[in-house]
């Protein structure tokens, strides 16, 4: 049985060690110069000038998701590196392409093998996915109930309709990616000219994006919670060996 308390302590210890290590590197090495916002932004933007970057997007997403790297962080990095509009297109394209790859892996994997996994959180995920529908997939993405790669694989294994799967994923990605794209477009201006107008513009975009995300997540949580209360026990019984 998984010791969640131990995992949490190990995770926190790892974060603290990583933070201390990075702080030391920034304090005592030439990396300190990169704490300047202008250099950070220019470094990210310079990545987008390489011809091979667009070709590397999908492989990077596939590998990153396999390593349980946060998909939202990869989206933000791609958008900031390639610029607002092209970055948004590549982030959405990379996320959907990767989702499709893991969905197909799940189809190959099969539902029987998925049903053999008796982790409580994954049982709930299976129950949500069996409902199907665009709204359900979007809700699972917004809460979320599992890592990006796991949700994709389970959706394919359980047999969620691909149309619902890809549309729900796309809709769930819109709030965060559009917010990052709009903020990224104004970020350079803010760093070079931190006027009240630029600060207010970035703050308004962030506030709007966060508000939309929270409202959508609240709706999704209530919708899925209601369904769990009505049907989860029977689903868990069906998943039992």
* Omega prior to 144 cis, within 30 of 0: yes
Q: What is the pLDDT of residues 68-97, one digit of tens each?
A: 788 888 888 888 778 778 889 999 999 999
For the four alpha carbons of 90, 96, 98 and 104, in that order, the dihedral sign comes to: negative
pLDDT given at position 25: 57
Is residue 235 pLDDT above 50, yes or no? no
pLDDT given at position 142: 78
Q: What is the pLDDT of residues 17-75, one digit of tens each?
A: 655 665 565 566 665 555 554 555 555 566 666 777 778 888 888 888 888 788 888 88
Alpha-carbon span 98 to 60, nearest angstrom: 9
DSSP output for 63-87: HHHHTT--HHHHHHHHHHHH-HHHH
Is residue 217 pLDDT above 50, yes or no? yes
Is residue 138 pLDDT above 50, yes or no? yes
- What is the enclosing helix (H) or strand (E) of 180? helix 162-192
Query: Does 42 or 140 have the greater pLDDT score?
Result: 140
Is residue 100 pLDDT above 90, yes or no? yes
**Nearest residue to 68 (alpha-carbon basis) of 30, 98, 105, 108:** 98
Alpha-carbon span 164 to 136, nearest angstrom: 9
Name the pTM for this structure: 0.67
Is residue 236 pLDDT above 50, yes or no? no
Question: CA 240: distance to chain centroid?
Answer: 30
pLDDT category, 241, cuts 50, 70, 90?
Answer: very low
**What is the CB-side half-sphere exposure of residue 124 using CA atoms within 13 A?**
15
pLDDT given at position 198: 62
pLDDT given at position 1: 45
Q: What is the pLDDT of residues 156-179, one digit of tens each?
A: 888 889 999 999 999 889 888 888
What percent of the chain clears pLDDT 70, i.e. is strictly above it?
A: 56
Q: What is the pLDDT of residues 120-132, one digit of tens each?
A: 767 777 777 887 7
For the four alpha carbons of 46, 51, 55 and 56, in that order, the dihedral sign comes to: negative
With a CB cutoff of 8 Å and minimum separation 6, the contacts of 121 are 145, 146
């Amino acid at each position: 049985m998984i010791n969640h308390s131990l995992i949490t302590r190990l995770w926190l210890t790892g974060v603290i060690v990583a933070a201390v290590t990075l702080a030391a590197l920034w304090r005592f090495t030439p990396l300190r110069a990169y704490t300047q916002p202008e250099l950070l932004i220019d470094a990210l933007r310079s990545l987008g000038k390489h011809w091979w970057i667009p070709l590397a997007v999908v492989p990077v997403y596939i590998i990153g998701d396999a390593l349980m790297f946060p998909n939202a962080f990869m989206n933000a990095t791609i958008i900031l590196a390639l610029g607002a509009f092209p970055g948004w297109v590549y982030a959405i394209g990379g996320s959907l392409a990767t989702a499709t790859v893991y969905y197909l892996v799940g189809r190959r994997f099969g539902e029987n093998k998925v049903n053999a996994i008796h982790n409580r959180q994954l049982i709930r995920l299976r129950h949500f996915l069996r409902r199907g529908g665009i709204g359900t997939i979007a809700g699972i993405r917004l809460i979320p109930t599992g890592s990006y790669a796991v949700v994709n694989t389970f959706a394919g294994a359980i047999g969620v309709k691909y149309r619902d799967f890809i549309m729900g994923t796309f809709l769930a990605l819109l709030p965060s990616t559009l917010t990052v794209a709009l903020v990224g477009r104004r970020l350079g201006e803010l760093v070079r000219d931190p006027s009240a107008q630029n600060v207010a513009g970035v703050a308004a975009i962030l506030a709007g994006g966060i508000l939309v995300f929270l409202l959508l997540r609240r709706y999704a949580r209530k919708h899925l919670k209601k369904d769990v209360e009505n049907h989860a026990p029977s689903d868990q019984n069906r998943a039992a060996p």
